[in-house]
Amino acid sequence: MWNPSQPVFAESVRTRTRPGSVSAAKAATHCPYCGLQCAIDIVPDPSGARVRSRSFPTNRGILCPKGWAAAEPLRHRERLLVPWIRSTKNGPLRPASWEEALDRTAKAIRRIQSHHGRNAFGLFGGGGLTNEKAYLLGKFARVGLRTSSIDYNGRFCMSSAAVALQKSFGLDRGLPFPLADLSKTEVLVLVGANVVETMPPLQGYLQELRAAGGTLVVVDPRTTPTARCADLHLSIRPGSDAALALGLLHWAIAQDWVDAEFIANRTTGFEEVRRQALAFWPERAARMTGLSPAQIREAATLLGKAKTAIFLSGRGGEQQSHSVANLLAWINLCLALGKAGKPFCGFGSLTGQGNGQGAREQGLKADQLPGYRSLELPADREALCRFWGIRDAELPHSGPTADPLLRSCGLPGGLQGLLVLGSNPVVSAPKSLEIAERLRSLPFLVVVDFFLSETAALADVVFPSAQWAEEEGTVTNLEGRVLLREQALPAPPGIRTDLEILHGLAQRLGCANAFPAQASQVFDELRRASSGGKADYSGITYSRLRQEEGIFWPCPSSGHPGTPRLFLEGFATADGRARFHPIEEALPAELPDGDYPLWLTTGRQLAHYQSGTQTRRSPSLLAREPEPTVEIHPAMAEKLQIAEGDRVRLITRRGFLRASARLSLAVRIDSLFASFHWGGEGSANRVTNPALDRDSGMPEFKLCAARVERESGAGAGAEDRSGRSEAKLENRRRKR
| Helix/strand/coil (H/E/C) assignment for every residue in 519-534 | HHHHHHHHHHHCCCCC
Closest CA to 655 of 613, 676, 683: 683
CA quadruple 110, 113, 119, 121: dihedral sign: negative
Q: Cβ(694)–Cβ(670) under 8 Å?
A: no
Residue 3 has pLDDT above 90, yes or no: no
pLDDT band at 715 (very low <50, low <70, confident <90, very high): low
Helices 241-254 and 270-277, axial angle in degrees (round to 10) = 100
Closest CA to 445 of 425, 470, 417: 417
What's the mean pLDDT in 634-655?
97
What is the reported pLDDT for 354?
Answer: 84
Q: Over the Cα atoms of the chain, what is R_g?
A: 25
Parallel, antiparallel, or unpaired: how do β-strands 267-268 and 121-125 relate?
Answer: unpaired
Helix (H) or strand (E) holding 484: strand 481-485
Percent of the chain with pLDDT over 90: 89
What is the reported pLDDT for 726?
Answer: 43
What is the reported pLDDT for 467?
Answer: 95
Q: Is the pLDDT higher at 275 or at 1? A: 275
Closest CA to 132 of 507, 380, 452, 421: 421
Q: Is the pLDDT higher at 464 or at 724? A: 464
How far CA 180 is from CA of 202, 562, 717, in Å, comes to 10, 16, 51
DSSP assignment string, 200-249 = GGGHHHHHHHHHTT-EEEEE-SS--TTGGG-SEEE-PPTT-HHHHHHHHH
CA quadruple 734, 354, 242, 399: dihedral sign: negative
pLDDT band at 289 (very low <50, low <70, confident <90, very high): very high
Would you call 26 exposed, middle or buried from its count of C-beta atoms within 10 A (0-12, 13-18, 19+)? middle
* Domain residue ranges in the chain: 10-75, 84-157+354-552, 161-349, 598-735
- Which architecture does CATH list for 10-75? Single Sheet (2.20)
Q: Cβ(535)–Cβ(555) under 8 Å?
A: no
What's the mean pLDDT in 106-118?
98
What is the reported pLDDT for 17?
Answer: 29
Q: Give the three-class secondary structure for 408.
A: coil
Q: What is the distance between the alpha carbons of residues 531 and 521, in angstroms, rounded to a whole number?
A: 16
Residue 1 has pLDDT above 90, yes or no: no
Residue 522 has pLDDT above 80, yes or no: yes
What is the reported pLDDT for 224?
Answer: 96
The three-point CA angle 224-330-305 to 5° equals 90
How far CA 17 is from CA of 24, 45, 348, 467, 489, in Å, comes to 14, 12, 48, 19, 14
CA quadruple 92, 93, 97, 102: dihedral sign: positive
Segment 205-255, tens digit of pLDDT: 999 999 999 999 999 999 999 999 999 999 999 999 999 999 999 999 999
Beta-carbon contacts of 452 under 8 Å, excluding residues fewer than 6 positions away, are 78, 80, 84, 93, 462
What is the reported pLDDT for 47?
Answer: 73
- Which architecture does CATH list for 84-157+354-552? 3-Layer(aba) Sandwich (3.40)
What's the mean pLDDT in 701-728?
65
What's the mean pLDDT in 49-73?
93
Closest CA to 10 of 2, 1, 21, 23: 21
CA quadruple 490, 496, 498, 500: dihedral sign: positive
Backbone phi and psi for residue 444, each to the nearest 5 degrees, phi listed first = -150, 125
Beta-carbon contacts of 551 under 8 Å, excluding residues fewer than 6 positions away, are 481, 482, 539, 540, 544, 545, 561, 562
Q: Cβ(234)–Cβ(224) under 8 Å?
A: no
Percent of the chain with pLDDT over 70: 93
Lowest mean pLDDT among 16-25, 310-319, 411-420, 447-456: 16-25
| Helix/strand/coil (H/E/C) assignment for every residue in 260-317 | HHHHHHHEECHHHHHHHHCCCCHHHHHHHHCCCHHHHHHHHHHHHHCCCEEEEECHHH
Closest CA to 698 of 497, 401, 292: 401
Helix (H) or strand (E) holding 600: strand 598-603
What is the reported pLDDT for 46?
Answer: 78
What is the reported pLDDT for 438?
Answer: 98
Residue 725 has pLDDT above 50, yes or no: no
Peptide bond just before 554 cis, omega within 30 deg: yes
Helix (H) or strand (E) holding 384: helix 378-388
What is the reported pLDDT for 719?
Answer: 35
Q: What is the distance between the alpha carbons of residues 682 and 363, in angstroms, rounded to a whole number?
A: 33
What one-character DSSP code corresponds to residue 3? Answer: -
Q: Cβ(446)–Cβ(419) under 8 Å?
A: yes
Mean pLDDT for all residues in the chain = 93
Q: Tell me, which fold does domain 161-349 have in CATH?
A: Dimethylsulfoxide Reductase; domain 2 (3.40.228)
What is the reported pLDDT for 45?
Answer: 82
Lowest mean pLDDT among 48-62, 385-399, 428-442: 48-62
Closest CA to 82 of 100, 57, 59: 100
- Which architecture does CATH list for 598-735? Beta Barrel (2.40)
Closest CA to 356 of 161, 106, 574, 219: 161
CB atoms inside a 10 Å sphere around CB 6: 14
What's the mean pLDDT in 280-292?
97
What one-character DSSP code corresponds to residue 170? Answer: S
What is the reported pLDDT for 352?
Answer: 83
What's the mean pLDDT in 685-704?
96
What is the reported pLDDT for 586?
Answer: 85
CB atoms inside a 10 Å sphere around CB 21: 16
Segment 552-588, tens digit of pLDDT: 999 999 999 999 999 999 999 999 999 999 998 888 9
